Structure 1
Amino acid sequence: MSQSTVSSAATHKVSGKATKMRYAVAFMLFLTVVINYMDRSNLSVAAPLISEEFGLDTAQQGLLLSAFGWTYAAMQLPGGWLVDRVQPRLLYPICLVLWSVATIFMGMAGSFIALIVLRLAVGGFEAPAYPINNKVVTAWFPERERATAIGFYTSGQFIGLALLTPALIWLQHALTWHWVFVVTGGVGVIWGLIWFFMYRNPVDSKKANAAEIEYIREGGGLVDLGSAKNKTAAPKLSKADFALVLGRRKLWGIYIGQFCLTSTLWFFLTWFPTYLVTYRHMDYIKTGFLTSLPFIAALAGVLISGVLSDYMLKRGVSLGTSRKLPIITGLLLSMSMIGAIFTDSTALVITFMSIAFFGNGLASITWSLVSALAPSRLIGLTGGMFNFIGNLSSIATPIVIGLLVSATDFGPAFIYMTVIAAAGILSYVFLVGQVQRVEG
């Protein structure tokens, strides 16, 4: 009996049509991203009170806000190496629990140094998260659905922040800043345990039938990726592997583009609440509400982006245009934040910020290009390099802004962010070129 006959028979035996387990997996990724970004942004919520309690100047605030990024970036390549070798079912909960425990201890820290050390730990343990997300979605989704799936789970970083930032500010106001970290860390520990018991790779899952697995496989999904049944040992990384992921112009295009894109994100995750409180003189409760508006705009952007990209692809638009057009348009819109320099109106400032963050959301399907371009045997390493270079912005953005701004003038920060966004556009236009998988 031929392989196709076996596959057809298996599909008929299990079900007349494919199950939809991949949608449940996308929802699990979504919840994980909500928790991931809640633990990234909780420090920005508490930063004004922490700075007041410990007497921190703007340079020290920038150092504390950047601490996450030092280890997050440094651990991307080791994290990518782990992602290529350890099943997502096991690696993700380990990382989740460890970064969540470090977050809980931040709520108990009694010094500036302790906060920095614990924040470094959070960044290091979160490092494999997005390469794991990319591996999971590459295994569970065909190419024609992948941007929508990536857009959906990426929206978790915005919907969580939009809805939870006001709640965390209220919690801080009702109790103390310490509880912001204890509560967010506790949620992560619980979810890490749930992930371990619920997640399976497509070919290991008892809830995905043969028809769904075949549908994913025929659409370009790598259904055996990260499977417990796949006993083939991952080859040792060689200098040639690193030369491959560092030596291709296309890959450098998305690496640089990701740095520029995430610079805007890290502005909102670090300095934006302080900007409203310190430079716009708003109280904490009002700040919590206004901070949520750009995140809501970003949520709309990222949801539109994934659906629009896959729609264009299904209508016959090339893969490159379908993926790159929303990204380039989003980076262009993110440049609008420079308008905040030219107005004293709070309403206009929030409008400019909302347009800018909508653009950031629209551009946030960049991981779809990792899935499309990365060598299939080096998905984790390429994702790690992509996230390493991209998230150097988590170090640069807080520190550069802390050095550029003065006690009364925040304008240089907006000029810097606009120039960075323009550089991202140039990278996608001139370096990425035609979108096709790098062989090697």
Structure 2
Amino acid sequence: MAVTSRVIQTDKATKKRFIVGLLLFLGVIINYMDRSNLALAAPVIGVDLNLDSVQMGLIFSAFGWSYAILQIPGGLIVDKVKPRILYAIMLGGWSIATCLQSLVNGFSAFLGLRVILGIFEAPSYPTNNRVVTSWFPEQERATSTAFYTSGQYVGIAFFTPLLVYIQNAFGWRGMIFITGVIGVIYSIVWYLMYRDPKDSKANEAELNYIRQGGGIVDMDGKQNVRKASWSQLKYVLKNRNIWGVFIAQFCLSSILWFFLTWFPTYLVQYRGMGFIKMGFLASLPFLAAYVGILFSGFISDYLIKRGHSIGFARKVPIVSGLILATSIIGANYVDDQTAVIAFMALAFFGNGLASITWVFVSALAPSHLLGLTGGIFNFMGNLSAIAVPIIIGFLAKGGSFEPALVFISSLALIGALSYIFIVGKVERIVVPEE
């Protein structure tokens, strides 16, 4: 009996995939701290470097120029280079660019370094998606995607007050430098700890569990590149579902980029909040978004386990979240600062609820075009990183922020309609052999 017990224990599946999920979560926290630290410092930087709202809008959007343009090349790289190496290079590169931002004294230098930041961050989310697709079965994929994506909210929610305190103590330069150093350190941690499933300490029972659930454990980057072709990609891009997801992702990302760029400035300059108060209150919508995305992943995977289709289970939280996000327009009709934050928190909760959209890439993309399809998906979404900061800068130039919030609310509605009327049955696209 004792011998049998030991055999059963040996055959029990390991849980190494959850450590991988934690590594992705921490990487996303650092990713978004380095994207959003500029937003916290913007009111001070604008005064210190004598920059107007249009110039700040251009600096905010500069990251998006390179980030969006390089999504497709980045997707090709993701299909070719193993995540262990690629993620470490990306983290180190964008973190060094962040550190260098603390040294600039003018518009052009800031613009250039934000472009460099976008270059190194470009393959990050396609890499995250590849890691999740290879490490997690379908019935756990929404939860795992929600968990790592929640890092973009939880890091800002919990660290915004701390970063504002650091800025008050060491200035905006010190705050930006510190966030960059953290990323350099974590690039080393990632390289030392991450392995692909077949190279990891996950036992065969866990690998079989992932395989049987649709996880692509045996993904081989070099093999994928040999199989892929542009004619096959063109076939994928003819798919109606893909375009419905692309359109909605632009709208969803637009809401996020408002909060990552103009939101602190809106509270300070247009709602009259002090920096310390802004630091605490600005974290509340991010906390709401964090709750929203965790709830989204849980309910979506629960619906899968209850026998609902993948399309229904994934669309329910996404469409509901985008409809909730339209409530951001309510801030135009209240004067009380608490009410303003309440509307912002409700809207960003909706954004979080809708932010499991990467599961559609995992479900729709052919396995050998996973990185490339993910790159195009992220390209479409992050066109908003270019457009939204500039558009808001112009809309707010007259001294009123109300048109900007109408703009964001309208995009949320368009995103919901795209999932309702364009995205149909969700199944992996099978490309014809050449």
Could you say which TM-score interval applies, normalised by the shorter chain?
Answer: over 0.9
* Residues 107 and 182, structure 1, Cα contact 8 Å, conserved in 2: yes
Determine helix, strand or coil for the equivalent of 2:342.
Answer: helix
2:419 — aligned with what? 428
Following the alignment from structure 1 to structure 2, what is the Cα–Cα distance between the partners of residues 12 and 75?
Answer: 50
- Cα displacement (A) at 1:118: 0.4
1:286 paired residue number:
277
| 2:317 matched residue in structure 1 | 326
Structure 1 counterpart SS, 2:422:
helix
Q: Could you report, residue by residue, the CA deviation over 1:209-265 in whole angstroms, capped at 9, with x for unpaired residues?
A: 1100000000000001257xxx63622753313312322111111111110001000
Percent of aligned pairs sharing the same letter? 55
| Cα distance, 1:138 vs structure 2 | 0.2
Structure 1: 5+ residue stretches without partners: 1-10
Match of 2:10 in 1: 15
Structure 1 distance, partners of 2:49, 2:235, is 46
Once residues 403 and 439 of structure 1 are traced to their aligned partners in structure 2, the CA distance between those partners, rounded to angstroms, is 44
**Alignment-derived partner of residue 381 in structure 1:** 372
Counterparts of 1:10-89 in structure 2, within 5 Å, are 15-89=10-84
| Partner of residue 164, structure 2 | 169
- Aligned partners of 1:233, 1:73: CA distance in 2, in Å? 23
In the alignment, the residues of structure 2 paired with residue 109 and residue 312 of structure 1 have an alpha-carbon distance, to the nearest angstrom, of 50
1:216 to 2:207 alignment: no
Q: Alpha carbons of 1:360 and 1:279: their partners in 2 closer, same or farther (altered >3 Å)?
A: same
How far apart, in 1, do the equivalents of 2:422 and 2:134 lie? Answer: 27
Aligned to 2:130: 135
State whether residues 224 and 368 of structure 2, in contact with CA within 8 Å, keep that contact through their aligned partners in structure 1.
Answer: no
Are the counterparts in 1 of residues 55 and 107 from structure 2 also a CA contact under 8 Å?
no
- CA–CA distance in structure 1, aligned partners of residues 77 and 44 of structure 2: 37
**TM-score after normalising by structure 2:** 0.96
Distance in 2 (CA, whole Å) between partners of 1:309 and 1:180 is 38
Is the contact between residue 233 and residue 369 of structure 2 (CA under 8 Å) also seen in structure 1?
Answer: no
Equivalent position SS for 1:70: helix
Give the letter aligned to residue 244 of structure 2. Answer: G
Residue by residue over 1:310-350, the C-alpha shift from the partner in whole angstroms, topping out at 9 and shown as x without a partner, is 00100111110100110000000000010011111111110
Deviations 1:155-182 (A, max 9, x none): 1111100011111111111111001221
Partner of 2:223 in structure 1?
Answer: 232
The one-letter code matched in structure 1 to 2:203 is N
Q: Is the 8 A contact 2:228 2:369 kept in 1?
A: no
Residue 112 of structure 2 is matched in structure 1 by 117
Once the two structures are TM-superposed, the CA of residue 112 in structure 1 deviates from its matched residue by 1.1
Q: Corresponding residue for 1:270?
A: 261
Report the CA distance between 1:12 and its aligned residue.
6.0
Larger mean Cα displacement after TM superposition, 210-219 or 162-171: 162-171
Cα offsets for 1:99-150 (capped at 9, x unmatched): 1000000001121110110010001110000000000000000000000000
How much does 1:376 deviate? 1.3
**Superposed CA RMSD:** 1.4
CA deviation after TM superposition for structure 1 residue 13, in Å: 8.7
Rounded to whole Å, the distance in 2 between the matches of 1:292 and 1:238 is 44
2-structure distance, mates of 1:401, 1:233 = 41
TM-score, normalised relative to structure 1: 0.95
> Could you say which residue in structure 2 is the equivalent of 1:157?
152
Q: State whether residues 47 and 274 of structure 1, in contact with CA within 8 Å, keep that contact through their aligned partners in structure 2.
A: yes
Structure 2 residue matching 1:436: 3-state secondary structure? coil
Task: Between 237-246 and 110-119, report the one with greater CA deviation.
Answer: 237-246
Cα 1:407–1:180 change in 2 (3 A) is farther
Task: Rate the CA distance shift 1:275–1:233 in 2: closer, same or farther, 3 A.
Answer: closer
CA distance in structure 2 between the partners assigned to 1:415 and 1:80 by the alignment: 33
| Most deviating of 19-28 and 48-57 | 48-57
Post-superposition CA distance 1:395-415 (Å, at most 9, x none):
111011111113531000111
Are 2:242 and 1:251 aligned? yes
Residue ranges of structure 2 left out of the alignment (5+ in a row):
1-5
Alpha-carbon contact 2:64-2:386 (below 8 Å) kept? yes
SS for the counterpart of 2:426 is coil
Q: 1:98 to 1:236 in 2, by over 3 A?
A: farther
Q: What's the counterpart of residue 5 of structure 1?
A: none
Q: Flag as ranges the 4+ runs of structure 1 deviating above 4 A.
A: 11-14
8 Å CA contact retained: 1:14, 1:209: no
Q: 2:274 is aligned with what amino acid?
A: D
Q: Distance in 2 between matches of 1:169 and 1:349?
A: 20
Q: C-alpha deviations, 1:273-296, integer Å up to 9, x for none?
A: 000000011111000001000001
SS in 1 for 2:273: coil
CA contact (8 A) 1:15 1:209 kept: no
- 1:366–1:233: structure 2 CA closer, same or farther, 3 Å change rule? closer
